[in-house]
């Protein structure tokens, strides 16, 4: 198990952990009925905090920000000698947490995406983990929630008996959701990105050889060019440039953000 604490990557406090440490943290929080916010961040997610001080504040108040992408893992290893052998990929983390939840009898809840994706994901997960207790699944409303709707959603999740909630709303909305719902749900909330559509077979995953070489972004760009070209064409060079400046000590990114002035209540 590797857990070397939080490290500053472009002002975002990334958790230098492996799968075992991340899963253990989630399970212990679920058993203790303790609120915790966890996200698997690749370059795009990290850069949302670099460019937005309120988002930086949210991310730096997460309990765990695990390195979803190899470029983030490489940064941790190069700057801090963390010796992480692998990234902590959101879909794989989801499967590992579900396996442990099934073994421990801990009910789980899924929030986000569409009814069709959720139905196919349920089938996929129960085929892999027949003992998994799915306390509930609820699709996104794809709009802002009001305060009453948030209170009703919190009540539905809590009354379902769930001990872990997975949020699949897309970045950065799912990180905002996890930050805003963590304490009221009193359970670990995992923002797991593309895990929902991957499990449902709606979006293809990159071949393992591309994943292992940090080229998943290229595969996804080829699969969804209209949606993703701005993200990768602009953010990847910006990330590498800022990282180089931090590594040669020209830049010393601050981890201070700005406390959000109001809840966004994504749903």
Element (H, E) at 7: strand 3-9
Check if the beta carbon of residue 27 is closer than 8 Å to that of residue 74. Answer: no
Distances (CA, A) of 17 to 14, 41, 70, 206: 9, 13, 13, 23
Give the number of other CB atoms < 10 A from CB of residue 28: 12
Residue 255 lies in a domain: no
The Cα 20–Cα 23 span in angstroms is 5
pLDDT tens figures, 3-24: 999 999 999 999 999 999 999 9
Residue 15 lies in a domain: yes
Residue 262 lies in a domain: no
Mean pLDDT of 152-177: 96
DSSP string, 174-190: HHHHHHHHHHHHTSEEE
Distances (CA, A) of 88 to 20, 138, 194, 243: 9, 25, 14, 20
* Res. 96: pLDDT tops 90: yes
Weakest-pLDDT range from 35-49, 80-94, 146-160, 231-245:
231-245
How many separate domains does the chain show?
Answer: 1
The Cα 36–Cα 65 span in angstroms is 11
Q: Are strands 134-138 and 108-112 parallel, antiparallel or unpaired?
A: parallel
On the CB side of 253, CA atoms within 13 Å amount to 26
pLDDT for 179 = 96
Q: Which domain holds residue 44?
A: 3-199
The closest alpha carbon to 208, from 44, 42, 87, belongs to 87
pLDDT for 235 = 81
Helix (H, G, I), strand (E, B) or coil at 198: helix
Residue 217 lies in a domain: no
Residue 182 lies in a domain: yes
pLDDT tens figures, 109-127: 999 999 999 999 999 999 9
DSSP state of 62: S
The Cα 203–Cα 224 span in angstroms is 9
Residue 210 lies in a domain: no
pLDDT for 219 = 65
Residue 258 lies in a domain: no
Strand partners, 6: 15
The Cα 113–Cα 168 span in angstroms is 6
Check if the beta carbon of residue 248 is closer than 8 Å to that of residue 78. Answer: no
Check if the beta carbon of residue 80 is closer than 8 Å to that of residue 4. Answer: yes
Q: What token pair was written down for 87?
A: 């990234």
- Answer yes or no: pTM beyond 0.75: yes
Residue 167 lies in a domain: yes
């Amino acid at each position: 198990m590797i857990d070397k604490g939080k490290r500053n990557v472009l002002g975002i406090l990334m958790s230098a952990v492996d799968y075992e440490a991340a899963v253990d943290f989630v399970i212990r929080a679920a058993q203790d009925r303790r609120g915790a916010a966890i996200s698997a961040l690749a370059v795009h997610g990290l850069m949302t905090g670099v460019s937005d001080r309120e988002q930086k504040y949210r991310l730096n108040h997460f309990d765990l920000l695990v390195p979803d992408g190899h470029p983030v893992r490489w940064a941790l290893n190069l700057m801090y000698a963390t010796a992480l052998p692998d990234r902590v990929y959101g879909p794989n983390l989801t499967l590992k947490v579900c396996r442990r939840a099934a073994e421990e009898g801990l009910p789980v809840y899924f929030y986000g995406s569409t009814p069709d994706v959720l139905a196919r994901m349920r089938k996929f997960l129960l085929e892999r983990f027949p003992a998994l207790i799915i306390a509930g699944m609820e699709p996104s409303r794809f709009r802002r929630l009001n305060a009453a709707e948030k209170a009703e959603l919190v009540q539905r999740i809590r009354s379902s008996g769930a001990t872990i909630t997975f949020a699949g709303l897309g970045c950065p909305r799912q990180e905002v959701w996890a930050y805003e719902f963590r304490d009221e749900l009193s359970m670990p909330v995992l923002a797991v990105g593309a895990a929902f559509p991957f499990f449902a077979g709606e979006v293809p995953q990159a071949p393992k050889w591309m994943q292992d070489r940090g080229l998943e972004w290229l595969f996804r760009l080829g699969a969804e060019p209209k949606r993703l070209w701005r993200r990768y064409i602009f953010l990847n060079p910006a990330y590498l440039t800022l990282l180089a400046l931090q590594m040669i000590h020209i830049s010393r990114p601050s981890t201070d953000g700005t406390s959000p002035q109001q809840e966004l209540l994504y749903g």
